Amino acid sequence: MTTPARVYASLLALYPAPFRDRFGAQMLEAFGDLQRARSGQPLRFWAFVLADLLRSAAREHAAACLAGPRRFALEWGAACALGAMAAALVANSLTWIFSYFYHPYLEGITLPPWSYGALVGVALGVTQVAALGRRLRIGFAWIAASTAATAIGVETAVAVAPFTGPIGYGVVLGAFVGAGQWTVLRSRGLQAVRWVGLSTAAISLTLMSFAVTLHTKLSGLNAIAHSPFTLPMATSRGFLFRGLYAPATGADLAIELAVMAICGLVMASVTARPLSSLYGHQKSA
């Protein structure tokens, strides 16, 4: 191998590995032919080759980022983030409607926690199906399972939260949601223990803001609301959660939406890989 060919071969490392493995040898051959044809103009030749290499390598890396599992992860992340934001908006709407029509005669009547859970489940489920339903082959069953599982999960989590605290809230809710979604995905070879564990981890991780959002909605609604748990983090991170209780200004709403988007992204980051491999498993089967 000539020195220029050796240099070019080492520069091929700039391409993503799959591309290099498939086309590297052919590119090296083409480079050799090109170099022999333009041996009289080494400077112009190298300027041309390097510009071509850098431009195409950058393009390949960009394409690799937006393809395959990474693309799926990005889309799943966007779906979860949008779903969480939609859930916040829907919960806000329910709070607003309830407050608007509230009458002293209704004192003592409160909206049960499961109603918020159901709304969150619907919003998340619908967004996920809208974004990736066709690809993951999930539809109404996924929405129904998410809704039911989140409703039951929130109700149960609120009931046990005084004993378990915020972490227990996340564990209980995550376990219910995971179990509900597993009922839809089990026919595709999804392992129940794995998925429920991931769901539990994902929701526990997002608990900080997710649970606070739910909690503030619940306690904000009910003058004598039961407090599912005390929230020391609400004080310590008051600047973040200040806007979560019945957002009155655009800034409050923006903070709430940002927090929910982060929740969705955390959930997606934990669940994207197993979902992606599940789809691959199904395809190769």
Partner 1 sequence: MIEREPTLSTLTRAEFHVLLALLGGSRHGYAVMQDVDDLTAGKVRLGPGTLYTAIKRLLMSGLIEESESDSDRRRCYRLTRKGRAVATDEAQRLSDLVRIARKRGLLPSTS
Number of residues that bind partner 1 (CB under 8 A): 34
Is residue 34 at the binding interface for partner 1, with CB under 8 A as the rule?
A: yes
Specify whether the CB–CB gap between 268 and 76 falls below 8 A: yes
Does 51 bind partner 1 (CB under 8 A)? Our answer is yes
For the chain, give the DSSP string. Answer: --HHHHHHHHHGGGS-HHHHHHHHHHHHHHHHHHHHHTTT-HHHHHHHHHHHHHHHHHHHHHHHHTSHHHHHHHHHHHHHHHHHHHHHHHHHHHHHHHHHT--GGGTT----HHHHHHHHHHHHHHHHHHHHHHHHT--HHHHHHHHHHHHHHHHHHHHHHHHHHHHHHHHHHHHHHHHHHHHHHGGGT--HHHHHHHHHHHHHHTHHHHHHHHHHHHHHH-TT---SS--HHHHHTHHHHGGGSS--SHHHHHHHHHHHHHHHHHHHHHHHHHHHHHHHHHHH-
Q: Which of residues 116-135 bind partner 1 (CB under 8 A)?
A: 135
Is residue 40 close enough to count as binding partner 1 by CB under 8 A?
A: no
- Judged by beta carbon, residue 23 or residue 98, the one nearer partner 1 is 23
Report the site for partner 1 in 132-191 (rule: CB under 8 A).
135
Least distance (Å) between residue 213 CB and partner 1: 31
Find the part of the chain contacting partner 1 (CB under 8 A) among 48-56, 116-124, 161-169, 171-179: 48-56
Out of 1, 3, 10, 26, point to the residue binding partner 1 (CB under 8 A): 26
Shortest CB 22 distance to partner 1, Å: 7
23 is a site residue for partner 1 (CB under 8 A): yes
When asked if residue 230 is in the footprint of partner 1 (CB under 8 A), the reply is no
Distance CA 265, CA 80 (A): 6
For position 22 contacting partner 1 by CB under 8 A, the verdict is: yes
Q: In terms of CB distance, is 33 or 249 closer to partner 1? A: 33
Of the candidate spans 15-23, 77-85, 207-215, 232-240, the one that interacts with partner 1 by CB under 8 A turns out to be: 15-23
45 versus 98: smaller Cβ distance to partner 1: 45
Q: Let me know: does 174 contact 203? Beta carbons within 8 Å.
A: yes
Task: Please tell me the distance from the alpha carbon of residue 80 to that of residue 132, in angstroms, as a whole number.
Answer: 11
Q: Which of 9, 165, 265, 279 binds partner 1 (CB under 8 A)?
A: 279
**Residues in 69-88 at the binding interface with partner 1, rule: CB under 8 A:** 69, 71-72
Residue 17 lies near partner 1 (rule: CB under 8 A): no
Interface pick for partner 1 out of 29, 65, 93, 186 (rule CB under 8 A): 29
Is residue 47 near partner 1 by the rule CB under 8 A?
Answer: no
Are 5 and 35 in contact, with CB atoms under 8 Å apart? yes
Of the residues 57, 84, 122, 260, which one makes contact with partner 1 according to CB under 8 A: 57
CB atoms within 10 A of CB 10: 9
Residues interacting with partner 1, by CB under 8 A?
15, 19, 22-23, 26-31, 33-34, 48-49, 51-53, 55-57, 59-60, 63, 67-69, 71-72, 135, 276-277, 279-280, 283
